[in-house]
Amino acid sequence: MSLPPHLLDRARALAAPGRRRILGLAGAPGAGKSTLAGRLVAALDGLAVLVPMDGFHLAQSQLERLGLAHRKGAPDTFDAAGYAALLARLRAPEPDTTVYAPAFDRGIEEPVAGSIPVGPDIPLVVTEGNYLLHDEGHWARVRPLIDEIWFLELDEPTRVRRLVDRHVRFGKERLHAERWVRESDEVNARLIGRGRERADLVVAVS
């Protein structure tokens, strides 16, 4: 995925000095959110930091305790209230205080606390994830905390193929990956698509 100049210009405007802003990238699984977010942050060269929503996945042990392991990736398999609380804290940085955000390690399929330092002088936080536009439960607190949200769209055959390949790359057998995408990821994708109209910008990706 290349980085369109108009998107970089729009992100750079959000990173202008004055106050902390948050840019969100939403979209279905496999739409390219993390790729675009990473490229934006790299191109902004020290003006932005990436804080993914996926750091708020519940740990596998908790998913199993709650009987949700088979639905990993659904809205109720994240700590939505914790994510909203972090966004609120990031919006109002305190002088001389670094905020440490969690990350998600795909190698072990677990969240890792305290992984991402966000210094108080960083003007832009980029966050990406499936449910930034979801409006049920604690997720409804997220949208008002983000200054601008872009919804990424990729043609479905390409998105599904890339998603299956990603699952295989991180350890699933291909048949298992295809079934997981069909029975879990695509169910979530339909839910995510309902938030499209609440985005500030729809971005067609390839």
**Rounded CA gap, 189 and 184, in Å?**
9
pLDDT (tens digit, 9 = 90+) per residue, 136-163? 999 999 999 999 999 999 988 898 888 8
Q: Where are the domains of the chain?
A: 5-204
The pLDDT value given to residue 119: 97
CA distance 186 to 172: 17
Q: Would you state the structure tokens that stand for residue 64, as one six-digit string?
A: 């199993």
pLDDT the model gives residue 74: 92
CB–CB of 164/58 below 8 Å?
Answer: no
Backbone angles phi, psi at 82, to 5 degrees: -65, -40
Any alpha helices (H) in the chain, and if so which ranges? 5-14, 33-44, 60-66, 80-91, 156-169, 174-180, 186-193
Residue ranges in the chain whose pLDDT is less than 70:
1-2
CATH architecture of 5-204: 3-Layer(aba) Sandwich (3.40)
pTM: 0.92
CB contact set of 136 (below 8 Å; sequence gap of 6+): 75
Q: For the chain, what is the mean pLDDT?
A: 93
Q: For residue 101, give Cα distances in angstroms to 144, 171, 200, 201.
A: 19, 26, 25, 26
Amino acid identity, residue 73? Answer: G
